[in-house]
Homo-oligomer: A and B are copies of this chain.
Amino acid sequence: MKSFFSHFKIQVNSSLYLKDPHSSELGERIIYKSINLIDELGFEHFTFKKLAIEINSTEASIYRYFESKQKLLFYLINWYWCCVEYRLVFETANISDPRARLTKAIHILSSIPDGDSEAINSVEVPLKKLAMNESIKVMMTKEVDAENKEGVFSVYKSIVKRVVEIIKEINPKYPYPNMLVSSLIEGSNQQRFFEAHLPGLTNFKEGQDQVEQFYMDLVFKVLMNE
């Protein structure tokens, strides 16, 4: 159990920072404040200058922690992915029925966690919102291959792999488990964006989590054996 815990100590890939932001008070101010500020401005309008003003510091100081705003966003997204993997492991650990485990996994991947009862820390919910609205912009770039080589996507891949394993228990013949999981993760983020801004592309209903229900229905139907 020891190696298990050490794996889940929320430790973001060190290629994403120049200096560990958790190692100092300024570092913590940088990451905590950037979550709000990116959310507020949108990543395009977010700058280190604006962040520096918010935390009463300077651009130069922030650059000692992160080499670019893209890396900072990747850091935050990785932090979120670490939260998700943690929950995925612990919340499915003692469920023996693979279908119940998959239900739990779909919930974790597609819903916005309840801050009080589900989130493992105070930033999981705001991080989820960041990942939802901004992550795809730093993923779908020309730099993706270089970043992949640095290991930026290892946690993400590990999450997909874990859920794929559950799917294989339920229907080992299903030919597209990886695509099903990755399209669920990214698709649910996008559907929530659409719900908020382009509801005509969705089947929005007040007071119901249509996104989670949509994917719950979809995944189980797709895995049905004929």
Q: CB-CB contacts of A180-195 with B at 8 A, as 1s and 0s? A: 1111001100110110
State whether A142 and B42 are in contact (beta carbons under 8 Å apart), knowing that A210-B179, A222-B218 are contacts in the complex: yes
Q: How many positions in chain A have a CB within 8 Å of any CB in the partner chain? A: 48
Q: Which stretch, A26-34, A57-65, A120-128, A197-205, touches the partner chain B?
A: A197-205
Q: Is A8 an interface residue (CB 8 A)?
A: no
Query: Are B198 and A153 touching (Cβ within 8 A)?
Result: yes
Kindly state the separation between the CA atoms of A200 and B144 in the bound complex, as whole angstroms.
Answer: 14
Copies in the complex: 2
Kindly state the separation between the CA atoms of A201 and B193 in the bound complex, as whole angstroms.
Answer: 22
Query: Are A140 and B136 touching (Cβ within 8 A)?
Result: yes
> Within the complex, which residue of B145, B179, B182, B202 is in contact with A197, where a contact is CB–CB below 8 Å?
B145
| A197 surroundings in chain B (CB, below 8 A) | 144-145, 148
Q: Which residue of B lies closest to A201 (CB)?
A: B182
Query: Are A203 and B218 touching (Cβ within 8 A)?
Result: no
User: How distant is A224 from chain B, measured CB to nearest CB, in Å?
Assistant: 7
Interface residues of chain A, those whose CB is within 8 Å of chain B, are 41-42, 44-45, 133-134, 136-137, 140-142, 144-145, 148, 153, 156-157, 160, 175-183, 186-187, 190-191, 193-194, 197-198, 200-203, 210-211, 213-214, 217-218, 221-222, 224
